[in-house]
Structure 1
Amino acid sequence: LLTSYEDWPKEIITEQKLNESYYLIRGKDRGRPAWHYILVPISKHADLRALPSGSDIDVTNFGSIIKYRNNRNEIKHVSGWGTYPPKIMENWIQTHYSLAALDESINLAYTNDDIRLCIMQRAIPQQKIGVSLLYFAPKQFHYVKLTADLPSSLARRAGLKNYDRIIFLNGLNIENDTHNKFYSRFDTTRHLPIQMLVCSPATYTYYKTNKKQFHINLPTIQHLTPVFATSTSESHTEIPAVSVDNDSFYAVRWENSDIVSTVSQSAVFKSPEFTHVNDICYIETKGQYRKGQIIAKGLFLWINIIQKEFHSFSGSRSDYSKVDPLLMNLYAPFVTRLIIPTNIYCDFKQFSNLHELVLCIENSKQFSQIQPDIIPNLTHLSFMLGSKFTLPMELIWNVFSNGFPSLRQVNLSHIDVSLCRSWPTSPSLQFVSILSCKPMDIPVILASCPCLQHLQVHISLNDNDDIIISSLLLNHPLRRLTLWSDYTELTSDVIDSILTYTPNIECFYLQTIYSMSLIDLAHGLANRLNYLSQFDCYITEMLARNCRINNLTDLHQIHPCFYRIQVIEENDDFRILATK
């Protein structure tokens, strides 16, 4: 035990190499509980993790026990008796040691500069880009680790590579930032495009060894083409079927300038479905990429211009009827994506090739037109109306009963299926996002979508009814599930009942308040989901300090997917656990 100041560590003796990670090994030594902190080369990570629980091992076969010098000037091993190490020692290790910053695939031999400027644009602020942001404490640098099972993530498409060293974030040099400060910069600018200047490990080592400085104007920087997400998914941020309407225009005010320009929708590096007025995006102009703010948008931007001019010069009220119908007839057959951001009435019958429809304003006349005989080729349907707006039952029926036989993706507001417990199946639906529904509605949705691959559900209503288990639905092929609530607790029984229908889930995101120990929940998830390969969460654990598990190691060891769970906020009443 570290009973006095003299016993505390003051100096590092064991230096960590780039290809080593620190591990806490807990077990029994001659019948007594004991623990060791060791440095393990990345080549032995798999062997160590593959050991069954309770195996007899010689820890030195996997790495070296970390040593330190205490305030008595004695050299000690970071080892001890007991189940857990003292908090002082745990904090000291986490401050001075890190995960490995390269693996066997990385060559540190320098040949030429590999410095890349990567630009990414999320569809929504909470979307993940497919990286872990890490910090190598011994050498004080930031680096990225790509999420292995997200081959189409924003990070990969933008040109980021495993173990890239991060130099600049959004134009600021972050080399001297602490990990917490850097992560705060990253997390507080989620609504903005991400501009990240990175370099390979070999380039970073060469620059530091030769005392060369990184700066944003280096001639060897590769300016890669910006990428943007066309889906809210983290794994498939690019949907090849999305078409771009080159005849739509945005009004843009350029960064650090009062100049306003009109640019084509296709020049803006953000999906039109997720682009809003006041958004800041990267825009291609004259072969370069500039940052600008959208100040006006929409398929009918030219209509708005006509209206403003009409109002300015005549003082009269302008409306949609002022638009030349011949001009409308000319463009309408070429429109495949339609975004309605205003109350201007629009006749959908004009758009014979319409595939994607986004409604941003509540308008009963527009709702009445969303009919299979009016828009027969609809593939994507989105309502940006918030979680409190309840969609008409007839519209919900058409969505989930194969009324639109080509419909693949829907983003819905609040739905209520209490009056309908079954629909004809809609086999074309692959992605469904619902901003508000009850847990008991989920089985009905799954039953109507036998080919659904990704379901996002926000539970925002209290629901005292039990979920009725049907043996006909217990093996749905759903692969991705996003389940979250803000103020409604999702109990373990509710979560388990939902997962009863979906045993094939590979990726699961859970956000809720929770009033029980997470250990039982984690065991339930591990036992229920045999194919789970990625777990992300943001859970507010409503337990007093003396009722919580103090060390997350037991939680991490239940399943490899739980290893990234960390405490990000804590007080006497609750703590927040999230994946990073």
Structure 2
Amino acid sequence: MSDGSVSTMEMLPNELILNICRHFTARELYRAFYGLNRRFSSIADNISDLHLTITNNESHEPVWLAFSRVIKLKIENAKQIDLYRFSNIRSLTWIRPSAVQLQKLCSFTYFAYLEQLRVYDIYDMPSAAHFHQFVFSNGFPRVRILSLSHINISSPWVISLCLRAINAQNVSDPHLYKRILISCPNLTRLDFHMLRCIEIPMPVSFQHVNLKRLHCTGTLSSRSLENILAIVPGLMQFNINGSIREQPLVYFERLGNTLNVFLPHLNRFDCNFLFTGQYADLIKTRSFLEKFHPCFKHRMKFTKLSYGRIRIHTKSII
């Protein structure tokens, strides 16, 4: 029963307030609590592991006081930013950096503790080529997770032993797949998203033995799939999303043969394809299709869509 008293946040112990404040971004924290009184200002000044998003339209007052305690930073369309203030960044996402900003980013001085890096929408080609060369030549020796779009391979890469997971978006160069695998021998996961239908060439005398998970998005021929999978014999999980331009029965027969020949350790296969054709004819092929590989058995599902399209996908594994 209420005794008529009013409860306020100031009545809570510091430990509970700290737990609540850890769910705020740095900007939310300082705008909500800083300057209210000495106690709340002190709490704001003593919270570490902060997250922050910086855009060109937002003021940094008084959140700049927390810059050295930010570990996860997202920058979007920011024309001016002093990177020296962010000395403890572990995760950085940067959208549309300028050529000058990319040049500054290629400096280990700024981000000595960086472990996750995501950079999207680089439009200056010379700067992009230099930046991607830096990244894939062990420029960030602590970075293990990398996500990039429009990767430029015009400059030579050396090697990056630290990278474990890469998300490559808006891929248009058919040689990028091989370049990534050669430059990142310890890579265990690759997400490969293609802009358009591209034919992946067959690499000569090369295998990447550490890749365990591969996710491809785009329109890939059965020949390209064979070229992709032939060099990753240790693959355990394979997921593909896209469109089929070949007859599904022929496509899955070739895919099943590729999986049987090149991926002895595969234990999880998932797909989500779009195909334009006759639904009734496709249904008749299900029993044949599921025999091509153990991962297909009892998992293939056909869904009729509009305009003659059919979705061919795998059922979820419970």
TM superposition score category, shorter chain reference: 0.7 to 0.9
Taking the aligned partners of 2:23 and 2:209, their CA distance within structure 1 comes to: 36
* Equivalences for residues 34-53 of structure 1 within 5 A: none
Residue pair 1:355, 1:377 contacting (<8 A) in 2 also: yes
- Aligned residue in 1 for 2:66: 331
1:458–1:483 CA contact under 8 A, matched in 2? yes
Q: Residue 291 of structure 1 corresponds to which residue in structure 2?
A: none
Opposite residue 83 of structure 2, the aligned amino acid is F
Unaligned runs of 5+ in 1: 1-243, 252-260, 265-296, 308-319
* TM-score, structure 1 normalization: 0.42
1:110-132 CA distance string (max 9 Å, x none)? xxxxxxxxxxxxxxxxxxxxxxx
Q: Name 2:271's counterpart in structure 1.
A: 537
Task: Name 2:186's counterpart in structure 1.
Answer: 451
CA contact (8 A) 2:229 2:258 kept: no
| Displacement of 1:428 | 0.4
Q: Deviations over 1:198-233 (max 9, x none)?
A: xxxxxxxxxxxxxxxxxxxxxxxxxxxxxxxxxxxx
Aligned to 2:95: 360
The answer (yes or no) to whether the contact 1:439–1:459 under 8 Å persists in 2 is no
Q: What is the DSSP-based 3-state SS (H/G/I as helix, E as strand, rest coil) of the residue aligned with 1:439?
A: coil
How far 1:551 moved relative to its partner?
Answer: 4.0
> 1:474, 1:441 → 2: CA distance?
15
Does the 8 A contact of 1:343 with 1:363 survive in 2?
Answer: no
CA distance in 2, matches of 1:495, 1:389: 32
How many angstroms apart in 2 are the aligned matches of 1:368 and 1:263? 36
Where do 5+ consecutive residues of structure 2 fail to align? 1-21, 35-50
Query: Cα 1:367–1:444, aligned 2, differ >3 Å: closer, same or farther?
Result: same
Q: Which of 220, 223, 239 is the matching residue for 1:490?
A: 220
1:496-539 CA distance string (max 9 Å, x none): 10111111111111112112332332332233211111111111
Structure 1 residue 298: deviation in Å?
4.0
Q: 1:382: how far off?
A: 0.9
Please name the residue that 1:149 is paired with: none
| Structure 1 letter corresponding to 2:203 | I
SS in 2 for 1:577: strand
TM-score (norm 2): 0.73
1:481 lines up with 2:259 in the alignment: no
Aligned to 1:248: 26
Q: What letter corresponds to residue 458 of structure 1 in structure 2?
A: H
CA distance in 1, matches of 2:152, 2:283: 39
Task: Answer whether contact 2:136 2:183 (CA < 8 A) is retained.
Answer: yes
TM-fit CA distance, 1:331: 2.8
Name the CA shift for 1:353/1:570 in 2 (closer, same or farther; >3 Å): closer
User: Is 1:505 matched up with 2:235?
Assistant: yes
Q: What is the alpha-carbon distance in structure 2 between the residues aligned to residue 454 and residue 482 of structure 1? A: 8
What per-residue deviation string (whole Å, max 9, x for no partner) do you get for residues 446-471 of structure 1? 0000010100011114546x614221
Question: For residues 300 and 378 of structure 1, do their structure 2 counterparts lie closer, same or farther at Cα, with a shift above 3 Å needed?
Answer: same
Offset at residue 439 of structure 1 (A): 3.1
Distance verdict in 2 for CA 1:570–1:332, change over 3 Å: closer
1:396 aligns with 2:129: no
Is the CA contact 2:279–2:304 (under 8 Å) kept in the aligned structure 1? no
Residue 497 of structure 1: SS of its match in structure 2?
A: helix
CA deviation after TM superposition for structure 1 residue 263, in Å: 9.3
Does structure 1 residue 340 correspond to structure 2 residue 75? yes
Q: 1:263, 1:431 → 2: CA distance?
A: 38
Render the CA deviation track for 1:308-364: whole Å, top value 9, x for unaligned.
xxxxxxxxxxxx6xx57xx73x53332222111342521112222222111134433
Q: Which residue identity does 1:556 align to in structure 2?
A: E
**Equivalence for 1:516:** 247
From 400, 405, 411, give the equivalent of 2:141.
405
Amino acid at match of 2:267: S
How many percent identity over aligned positions?
23
The one-letter amino acid of 1:411's match is S
Q: Secondary structure at the match of 2:131?
A: helix
Q: Give the 3 Å change call, closer, same or farther, for CA 475–393 of structure 1 in structure 2.
A: closer
SS of the residue aligned with 1:435?
A: strand
Q: Distance in 2 between matches of 1:570 and 1:526?
A: 31
Aligned residue number for residue 112 of structure 2: 376
AA partner of residue 248 (structure 1)? A
Q: Is the 1:389–1:413 contact (alpha carbons within 8 Å) kept by the matching residues of 2?
A: no
Equivalent residues, number: 268
| C-alpha displacement of 1:250 | 4.0
Q: Which has the larger radius of gyration?
A: 1
- 2:52·2:70 contact (CA, 8 Å) conserved in 1? no
Residue 170 of structure 2 is aligned to residue 436 of structure 1: yes
Work out whether residues 439 and 494 of structure 1, in 8 Å CA contact, stay in contact via their aligned partners in 2: no
Distance 1:553 1:570, change over 3 A: farther
Task: Give, in whole Å, the separation in 2 of the partners of 1:389 and 1:499.
Answer: 33
Which residue identity lines up with residue 429 of structure 1 in the other structure? L
1:543 CA drift (Å): 4.1
Amino acid at match of 1:398: F
Which AA in structure 2 matches 1:332?
F
| Aligned counterparts of 2:236 and 2:174: Cα–Cα separation in 1 | 20
Change (3 A) 1:414 1:245: farther
Letter in 2 for 1:483: C
